[in-house]
Amino acid sequence: MNYLPPVIADITDTRLAQALQHKIDQKTKPLGSLGRLEALALRLGLILGTEAPMLSDPQLVVFAGDHGLAAKGVSAYPSDVTWQMVENFLAGGAAVSVLARQHGIGLTVMDCGVRHDFAPRAGLHQRKVAHGTADASVQPAMTAAQCAQALANGGELVRQLPGNVLLLGEMGIGNTSAASMLMARLTGLDIVDCTGAGTGLDASAVQRKVGILRDVLQHHGDAQAPLDALAAVGGFEIASMTGAVLQAAAERRVIVVDGFIASAAVLVASKLQAHVLQRCVFAHQSGERGHALMLAHLKAQPLLDLGLRLGEGSGAALAWPLLVSATAILREMASFESAGVAQRESGELQPGHQTH
C-alpha cells in the first residue's frame, strides 16, 4: 500500500492578515496590551479564513500504540501500561479525561496498534495495524505497508470527526524513544540532544537509552526520507497522528499540538507538506529534554510552559481556553469607535493610558 499525503495549500493572505491586525489594534485597549493573545487571535483568524473566527466542536484524539523497542528497557514503565491507560481514558479517570470533560472537548481514543484486544465501546476507535511495532533495534518498526495503513487510518478518523479543531494526544510506552529518533533523523541534531527521561528514567538510565537509540539510528542509516524514517523507528500511534495532522490541515482545521510526541508527528507531517505548520497552535513546551529544540526547529512559540511531561493531550486541553478567549476577543470586544472611547493621542503615551 502506498500513501500519498493530501496537498496542503498555502493559506497566506496578506489582506486578511492586515484586516485582522487592524481589528485587533482598534479594540478598546492600549496597542499590543493583550500580548501573545493578540498573535493567537490573528493566527486563528488566518487558519479559519475569517475576521470573526468561531471554534466549533473541538475534538481531542488520543492515539495509542505499543513499541517493540520497549522490551530493551527504554522506559521506566512496562508496556502493559499502554492498554491499562487506554482503559483509564475510556473510564474517564485519566488527566486528559478530566480536562476534556471540564472544557467540553470531545474525546476519542484510537487504538492504532496496542498490544491488547479491547471490547468495543463508545469513544474507542479501533484501527489496530498490529499488536505493537517490531523491535526497531532488529528490524524496521513497521513495514512500508503498515506505515501507510497507519497514516491512512489517521486521515480516515479525522474525516469522520465533527468540528473545526483537532487537539492531539497520545499514549504508548516507549514513544518518547521513537519521537527522539525521528527528531534526530529529520533535524540532523545529535540523538543525545533529543533524548530525555521520558516516563521518569534516572540519569544513568537516560545515558543507556541514548546508547540504544544511537545504535538503532545507525542500524537504519539508509532510512533518511520522512516516511522511511517513520517506518524504521516510529510507532503506529505517531504514524496515525501524522496522517490525522495532514488531513486536518487539508480541511483547514485548527491543530492544537500537545507535547514532544505530538510535535514529532507534526515534524514528520511538515517534512511532507510544509504548509501544515500554518494550521498549528503549539500548546506548551514540555519538560522532555528535546522539546525546546524541536519547537525551535519548527519555529514554534508555545502558549504555555508548565513543566508538563505527561502526554495524553493534557497540555493541549489546558491551552484550549486561551484559544476560546482569543476568538471571543476578536468577535465580542468593542472597538474604540463602537464604544465611544477616545484613542491614545499621537506621540508619547499620556499618563493613565498605558494600562487599565
CA-nearest of 57, 180, 55, 173 to 107 is 57
Note the pLDDT of residue 198.
83
Given a cut of 50, the residues of the chain with pLDDT beneath it are 348-356
Strand 59-65 and strand 280-282: pairing? Answer: unpaired
Is 237 in the active site? Answer: no
Note the pLDDT of residue 350.
42
Note the pLDDT of residue 347.
53
Q: What is the mean pLDDT of the chain?
A: 95
Cβ neighbour number for residue 255 with a 10 Å cutoff = 27
| Angle of helix 203-219 versus helix 175-187 axis, rounded to 10 | 60
**Cα–Cα dist 67/82, whole Å:** 10
| Residue 284 DSSP class | B
In order of 96, 122, 234, 294, the CA distances from 226 in angstroms are: 29, 34, 10, 15
Q: Which domains does the chain have, with CATH numbers?
A: 59-322 (3.40.50.10210)
Total-model pTM: 0.95
CA torsion 241-161-41-311 (nearest 10°) is: -40
**Cα–Cα dist 185/177, whole Å:** 12
Catalytic residue among 170, 237, 288, 312: 312
- Residues 223, 133 contacting (CB under 8 angstroms): no
Note the pLDDT of residue 341.
87
E strand map for the chain: 59-65, 106-113, 124-126, 165-171, 254-257, 280-282
